[in-house]
Amino acid sequence: MTERLFTLAVWMSAALVAVVLVWVIGDLVRLGIPHLSLDFLFAAPRDAGRNGGIGPILVSTVLIIGVTLTAALPLGLMAAVWLAEFTTRGHALGKAIRLSLDVMAGVPSIVFGLFGNAFFSIYLGMGFSILSGGLTLACMILPVFIRTCEVGLAAVTDTWRQGAAALGMTRTAAIWHVLLPAASPAIAAGMVLGIGRATAETAALIFTSGYVDRMPESLWDSGRSLAVHIYDLSMNISGGDTAADAAALVLITLIVLFNMLAQWLSDRWLHRRLVA
Amino acid sequence: MLMILSKVSSLSRWNIDRTLAPLLRMAGMMCAAVLILIVLFLLREAWPLLGNGGWVNLFSDDGWYPLEGLYGLLPMLAVSLAVMLGAIMLAGPVGLGCALFLQFYAPPGLRKSFRLLLSLLAGMPSVVLGLWGLTVLVPIIALWQPPGPSLLAAIAVLTLMIVPTMALAGAAALSAVPADLVSGAAALGMSAKSRLLYVVIPAARHGILSGVLMSMARALGETMVLLMVSGNVVQYPHGLFDPVRALTANIALEMAYATGTHRAGLFASGLFLTLLVLVLAWLAARSVRYD
Amino acid sequence: MTNYSESPYTLGSIDEAVACCAPKPQLKVRALSVSYGDRRVLETVSMDIYRGCITALIGPSGCGKTSLLTSINRLTDMLPSARVEGSVCFEGQEILDTTVDTLRLRRRIGMIFQKPNPFPISIRRNLELPLREHGVRKRSERASRAEQALRDVGLWEEVKERLDSSALSLSGGQQQRLCIARALVLEPEILLMDEPCSALDPISSAVVEELILRLRGRYTIVIVTHNLAQAKRVANYAGFFWMTERVGKLIEFGQCQRLFDTPAHALTQAYVDGVRG
Ligand SMILES: Nc1ncnc2c1ncn2[C@@H]1O[C@H](COP(=O)(O)OP(=O)(O)O)[C@@H](O)[C@H]1O
Ligand SMILES: [Mg+2]
């Protein structure tokens, strides 16, 4: 009897989560679809966003993510290569850097927002701008990106390092021509994970890239990201709910696409490791 | 004779490797420097309030009334903790159930899609969950017990948010339990229930605990959901239906116009929040290490 | 066995290979010892490696044969715990000297590993990458040298249609021959081969063995092998290693035929007999 009850409880908890998720997505689709159209994707918002579209907001979102990647990818990749290729287990500086990355991964996103506001917007004088928001997000995604790349590089078999050295290749050449290509699916997966995080982020952007929903003219302009747009429509604009649902649908679609891409890339990586 | 010894061309190649390592190390140090910058700037901005022993006010002041110079965090801290505990009390069992389902009960075909579903939920932007809470859940609660935006709404949406964290961490911990332990228990004639409850779950307890702590850290640091569904009234939580305001939501609400000491108070609460979250994350990491 | 006369090699038949009768030492190993951390794994090895000859190193696993090879091309530099003492003299120059440019050294002393390790890039790039790294700027020259190396290892006809597909798509034996070609493309003087056939199936193994025979005379080869019959078939000289008190030592070194037929040392006798019987 209790055996049956236990089994039932396990199935129920799984069913509960599934049902609620379907409920959430179903509601978003039901409420958002009527508002969704090609025009919605490209037009400028009118009437504080109740009508019109999300064109400038998509542009701002893309620009913010562009800034984020431009800043985080080279720096993160270099740090990951150093951690994976130039430090051994007991390396003191390596340990310190890994620890600080772990700590950074735990900092709440609103606190990144505070930091970005104080440092990029005010101290460095960037004001409320796409640049300031993008750089804040870059700080936020650095830990997860570096960690994914480092794990990917560490998983590359040592025989290639040896083989490259035995051919008299420099370590630089081995890393550039052999190890990084071999780890590229992991690097891409880390990148896509970072993009996903950045796209979903709201709290860190409210006080760094700001609210302005006009088409940005440069990176120094304030620009409203899609997530911030959803927040603003639902909280500050009465009658903005359907537009918010439609925007949320777009946001989820983007994120699901990114996740599928990440999954596909890491699967391919795993497959290649098995074959190799 | 000089064939092996470095010539000019080979010397220049040596230099690539010689300059690469310091260059990369510098990049690594720059990443670590970001953390130092974060801490420094939080401290710097919070200093007007923290300095000269002012931090005591954060805990001794009677409530958060920035206009009157009162910066007591305790009511909002209580809300943050209440929401976190409420959510983990719901998400813990449900998440563990999902983990058990994933690891032991799900038929193979279902397992993969359920895992996909969990990762979909895990990747759901919090602003979207907040939107759903605001437009769907809050009106339902309002029908039952007005006004609607409340501690309960916050707990419910946050539960939804941390269940996947809990379930995926739990499943990982369960899968790490050696298979012969399970089959050994089966050989003793234990039923599936007692096998799981008395053998497998205890064996995976460190990993599960780590999942709980990670979920708690995530709940404590969450902003958007709390901002959107909890009502944002500064008060101690007395009942599930009270509108309340959490620490994170407070920062998001007041940063737009705060100046002077008020702004410092917000940075101080951010610093304090970070500290709490880090303690949880540290405990989570520690509990796996002792597995 | 393989029919030698029909194979598409460009190195000439085996009979034409330079006989190894004028022993001129190219590498002089003197009192070489290798340790990992506190643990000494190879002690006071002294031997000469003769130009153009094949020298086989035999002995049980763990007695330091790989460590000897990696000391010769300084791959031990990659292991922070490895310490090499003694002297290895390469054409009058000390290899173990810290001022030696290891990159140039490794260009002159190539190495083949037990497990084929082609890079996960195209077949063509596997061959052209080392050339580019060693300053061969002209694309046409790289291409022609790559083709020559592939012909030398008898792989050209098999892969010329798919030079741009991944090297990992080749079979194990083809991968190993690609690795040999990759080493040959740099025109090394010495080839170190660490059990080049032991990860291969018997047929691929025979193909690689035949290839090694064809390289004799053109390259100085040091080959580690557990296959005594193979050692007897290919080698001119042989060295027998054995472990005493967990430290590897060179027990006996001499002409291959002599070492197998009339071992001077009882341990050698026992090993040769034991494996044979
Ligand atoms: N990187 C290393 N670190 C520590 N010990 C090693 C390392 N490589 C090899 N050894 C040890 O050195 C001994 C000799 O190894 P090796 O040279 O590979 O022998 P062989 O090739 O004859 O089998 C072995 O006992 C092995 O455990
Ligand atoms: Mg070996």
The CATH number of residue A122's host domain is 1.10.3720.10
Q: Whose atoms come closest to the Cα of C76: which ligand?
A: 1
In whole angstroms, give the CA distance from residue C248 to residue C250: 7
Q: What is the mean pLDDT of each run of 10 residues along chain C (277 residues)?
A: 42 49 82 93 92 92 93 90 92 88 91 92 91 90 93 90 90 93 93 92 89 89 92 92 90 90 89 70
- The rounded Å distance from CA C194 to ligand 2 centre is 7
pLDDT in tens, A72-84: 999 999 999 999 9
H/E stretch holding B250: helix B247-254
Beta pairing, strands C25-36 & C82-90: antiparallel
Kindly state the DSSP code that residue C194 receives in the 8-state scheme: E
Where are the alpha helices (H) located in B101-178, listed in sequence order? 108-122, 126-132, 138-144, 151-175
Q: Do C117 and A169 touch (CB under 8 A)?
A: no
Query: Which ligand has its closest atom nearest to the C-alpha of C83?
Result: 1
Residue B136's nearest CA partner among A22, A229, A57 is: A22
- Give A263 to chain C, closest Cα distance, Å: 21
Round to whole Å and give the CA distance between B218 and B168.
14
E strands, chain B, in order: 64-65, 70-71
**Nearest alpha-carbon partner for B17 in A95, C24, C101:** C101
Q: Where does the pLDDT of residue A215 fall: very low under 50, low under 70, confident under 90, or very high at 90 and above?
A: confident
Does the residue A14 lie in any domain? Answer: no
Tell me how far CA of residue C2 lies from CA of A185, C7, C150, C201, C235, in angstroms.
42, 9, 20, 14, 18
Distance CA C14, CA C51 (A): 18
A-contacting residues in B 145-174 (Cβ below 8 Å)? 160, 163-164, 167
- pLDDT at position C70 is 94
Residue B1 in any domain: the answer is no
Pairwise CB contact (< 8 Å): B38 & A115: yes
- Mean pLDDT in residue range A116-121: 94
C-beta atoms surrounding A275 within 10 Å: 10
The answer, yes or no, to whether any atom of ligand 1 lies below 6 A from the CB of C225, is: no
What single string gives the DSSP state of each residue in A157-214?
-HHHHHHHHHTT--HHHIIIIIIHHHHHHHHHHHHHHHHHHHHH--HHHHTTT-S--S
In a domain, A4, yes or no: no
- The minimum-distance atom of ligand 1 relative to the CA of C34 is 12
Whether A19 is covered by a domain: the verdict is no
Say how many CB pairs under 8 Å bridge A and B: 253
CA B219, CA B85: separation in Å to the nearest integer?
9
Residue B29 forms part of a structural domain: no
C65 C-beta closer than 6 A to ligand 1? yes
CB-ligand 1 contact for C60 (6 Å cutoff)? no
Q: Residue A67: which domain range?
A: 36-272
Residue C253 CB-density burial (10 A; 0-12 exposed, 13-18 middle, 19+ buried)? buried
**Is B116 in contact with B98 (CB distance < 8 Å)?**
no
Residue C64 CA, closest ligand 1 atom number: 17
Residue B1 confidence (pLDDT): 34
In a domain, A22, yes or no: no
- Rounded distance between C-alpha atoms, residue C239 and residue C254, angstroms: 7
Q: Which residue of A has its CA nearest to B167?
A: A14
Distances (CA, A) of A195 to A65, A230, A254, B177, B182: 7, 18, 10, 34, 40
Q: Which residues 73-102 of C have a C-beta within 8 angstroms of B? A: 90-93, 95, 99-101
Check if the beta carbon of residue C178 is closer than 8 Å to that of residue C118: yes
* Contact flag C100-B5 (C-beta cutoff 8 Å): yes
Give the burial class of B261: count Cβ atoms within 10 A of its Cβ; 0-12 exposed, 13-18 middle, 19 or more buried: middle
Q: Considering only alpha carbons, which residue of chain B is nearest residue A210?
A: B256
Structural domain total, chain B = 1
Asked if A21 reaches chain B (Cβ–Cβ under 8 Å), the answer is yes
- Within-domain flag for A8: no
Q: How many Cβ contacts (< 8 angstroms) between chains B and C?
A: 31
CB contact B37 to A (< 8 Å): yes
Q: Is A76 in contact with A97 (CB distance < 8 Å)? A: no
User: In the prediction, which pLDDT does A240 show?
Assistant: 78
The partner residue sitting opposite C80, judged by closest CB among A88, A162, A164, is A88
d(CA B131, CA B139): 12
What is the per-residue pLDDT for C15?
A: 46
Q: How far apart are CA C221 and CA C209, in angstroms?
A: 12
Provide the b/e sequence for C92-129 (b: ≥16 CB within 10 Å): eeebbeeebbbbbbbbbbbbbbbbbbbbbbbbbbbbbb
In the prediction, which pLDDT does A271 show? 61
Q: Give the C-alpha separation, B90 to B207, whole Å.
A: 18
Residues of B in contact with A18 (CB under 8 A): 114, 117
Whether the CA torsion B251, A102, A140, B49 is positive or negative: it is: positive
Q: Would the CB atoms of B120 and A256 count as touching at under 8 Å?
A: yes
* pLDDT tens column, A180-204: 888 888 888 888 889 989 999 999 9
Query: Does A27 reside within a domain?
Result: no
Whether residue A115 contacts residue B41, with contact meaning beta carbons closer than 8 Å, is answered with yes
Q: Of A97, A172, A234, which is closest to B16 when you measure between CB atoms?
A: A172
> Which DSSP symbol is given to A264?
H
Indicate the top mutation candidate among C63, C84, C192, C244 to test ligand 1's pocket, ranked by most ligand atoms within 8 A of CB.
Answer: C63
Q: Partners for C (CB, 8 Å, 3+ pairs)? A: A, B
Q: Give the number of domains in chain A.
A: 1
Nearest residue to C193 (alpha-carbon basis) of C222, C231, C220, C229: C222
- Taking CA atoms, B80 is separated from A202, B151, B269, B274, C253, in Å, by 19, 10, 12, 13, 78
Question: How far apart (Å, rounded) are the C-alpha atoms in residues B79 and B269?
Answer: 14
Cβ C119–A163 below 8 Å, yes or no? yes
Structure tokens belonging to residue C241:
């290693």
Alpha helices in chain C (DSSP H): 65-72, 102-108, 123-133, 139-152, 156-159, 172-184, 202-215, 228-234, 256-261, 266-276
Pocket test for ligand 1, best of C36, C83, C111, C194 (most atoms within 8 A of CB): C36
Our answer on whether the CB atom of C63 is closer than 6 Å to any ligand 1 atom is yes
Ligand closest to CA C242: 1
The DSSP code for A53 is -
- Distance (Å) from the C-alpha of residue A39 to the closest C-alpha of chain B? 22
C36 lines ligand 1 (CB under 6 A): yes
Closest ligand to C60 CA? 1
Is C66 a pocket residue for ligand 1 (Cβ < 6 Å)? yes
CA distance A175 to A77: 12
Residue pair A113/A71 in contact (Cβ under 8 Å)? The answer is: no
pLDDT at B11: 40
Q: Which of A171-185, A262-276, B263-277 has the lowest mean pLDDT?
A: A262-276
Instruction: Write down the H helix ranges in chain A.
Output: 2-32, 38-42, 55-86, 92-106, 109-116, 130-154, 158-166, 171-173, 180-200, 203-206, 226-236, 241-275
Residue C83 phi, psi (nearest 5): -130, 130
Q: Give the Å distance between the CA of A169 and the centre of ligand 1.
A: 24
Confidence category of residue A55, pLDDT binned at 50, 70, 90: confident
pLDDT in tens, B66-91: 877 788 888 889 999 999 999 999 99
pLDDT tens-digit series, residues B93-118: 999 999 999 988 888 888 889 988 89
Interface contacts A/C by beta carbons within 8 Å: 71
The answer to whether residue B2 sits within a structural domain is: no
Distance CA A14, CA A4 (A): 16
Decide: helix, strand or coil at residue C239.
strand
Q: Determine, yes or no, domain membership for B23.
A: no
Whole-complex ipTM: 0.88
For position B242, which CATH number holds? 1.10.3720.10
Q: What is the mean pLDDT of residues B209-229?
A: 90
Cα angle B250, B255, B256 (rounded to 5 degrees) comes to 120
For B125, the closest of A97, A113, A255 (CB atoms) is: A255
Is the CB of B3 less than 8 angstroms away from the CB of C135? Answer: no
DSSP string, C34-95: EEETTEEEEEEEEEEEETT-EEEEE--TTSSHHHHHHHHTTGGGG-TTEEEEEEEEETTEET
Mean predicted confidence (pLDDT) in A38-48? 81
Q: What pLDDT sits at residue A39?
A: 83
Euclidean distance between CA atoms A134 and A230, whole angstroms: 18
* Inside any domain, residue B125: yes
Reported as a single tens digit per residue, the pLDDT across B139-198 is: 888 888 778 888 899 999 999 999 999 999 999 888 888 888 877 877 787 777 788 888
